[in-house]
Amino acid sequence: MASRLINSRLALSRVYAVGGSKNRRFLSTESNKVDEPFKVEEAETVHVPPPPSDKLLVLGGNGFVGSHILREALNRGLVVASLSRSGKSSLHDSWANNVTWHQGNLLSSDSWKEALDGVTSVISCVGGFGSNSYMYKINGTANINAIRAAAEKGVKRFVYISAADFGLANYLLQGYYEGKRAAETELLTKFPYGGVILRPGFIYGTRTVGSVKLPLGVVGSPMEMVLQHAKPLNQLPIVGPLFTPPVNVTAVAKVAVRAATDPVFPPGIVDVHGIQRFSQQMSR
């Protein structure tokens, strides 16, 4: 019986570690032998580069809305570039030195496509007025070219600054609105999960024209305060769109940059009331 008990204890012998982690030795209950420490090879150190910063390209970045978007993106720590027909902005503000300025025409050669290299998101502020054919080209064709090129380059998100419907104005500016809506359709097709369309009405703020600064907020701000509470009037037939409230250019810039960089920002169309709502959420 005693023999069986001894054999069982020997069979169930365990290894005990004694001493500190630095001078550790291993003892076996089977004998008085001191085993050598286990040799553990040191893992190879792998240097993993930090995740690349989001790179934002703003089309029409030297314009009124575009320049505010660039400044907002820089404030968020993004790598920022601009593409426009005139190239570098005439602004002398210090933040402009932190922008990579590209010159190119979305309606001409493909050379401007190099500006999309390494870009993760695009915001287009391209648009303009003129004859119906010109308005369709600058608001529609130019943006469609940009949307297709961005999709081919693997850009993740694309935000388009479009325009709210103004009822009668849609017919008076037929080429303008037809171009806008054609670009919207292309965006929702090419970027079903990362395409966002902002439809502001009148955008106000201090606008620089040459050496003159126009304080559009003097008119726009009071109108926004009144009309943002008159949403039911916006639903009236024919005259309803005339009650669309103005929106501050800063609010448009904040929402545009968020829509371009936040992967959970919902795709689709955001009207002026949605712009105001998202902007207010970000200001809290």
Provide the 3-class DSSP secondary structure of residue 226.
Answer: helix
* pLDDT at position 5: 44
In which band, very low, low, confident or very high, does the pLDDT at 208 lie, cut at 50, 70 and 90? low
The per-residue pLDDT for 213 is: 57
At residue 281, the pLDDT reads: 85
Query: pLDDT above 90 covers what percent of the chain?
Result: 51
pLDDT for res 225: 56
Contact criterion met (CB below 8 Å) for 183 and 225 = no
pLDDT at 22 over 50: no
Give the pLDDT of residue 34. 46
Predicted confidence at residue 73, as pLDDT, reads: 96
CA distance 265 to 246: 23
Domains and CATH numbers, the chain: 55-205+247-282 (3.40.50.720)
Mean pLDDT of the chain, nearest integer? 78
pLDDT 10s digits, 236-271: 455 445 557 788 999 999 999 999 999 999 999 999
Residue 85: is its pLDDT beyond 50?
Answer: yes
Asked if residue 137 has pLDDT above 50, the reply is yes
Q: At 32, list the tokens.
A: 């008085």
Q: Among residues of the chain, what percentage have pLDDT more than 70?
A: 67
Least trusted range by pLDDT, from 1-5, 93-97, 209-213 = 1-5
Q: What's the pTM value of the predicted model, to 2 decimals?
A: 0.74
What pLDDT shows up at residue 242? Answer: 57
CA separation, residue 236 to residues 113, 202, 222 (Å): 44, 19, 22
pLDDT of residue 246: 83
Pair 223, 244: CB distance under 8 Å:
no
DSSP 8-class letter at 116: G
Is the pLDDT score of 170 beyond 90?
Answer: no
206: part of which helix (H) or strand (E)?
strand 206-209
Spatial CB neighbours of 121, under 8 Å, sequence gap ≥ 6: 54, 55, 56, 57, 155, 156, 157, 158, 159, 260, 261
In the chain, the amino acid numbered 271 is D
- Round to whole Å and give the CA distance between 61 and 57: 8
Q: pLDDT value at position 148?
A: 97
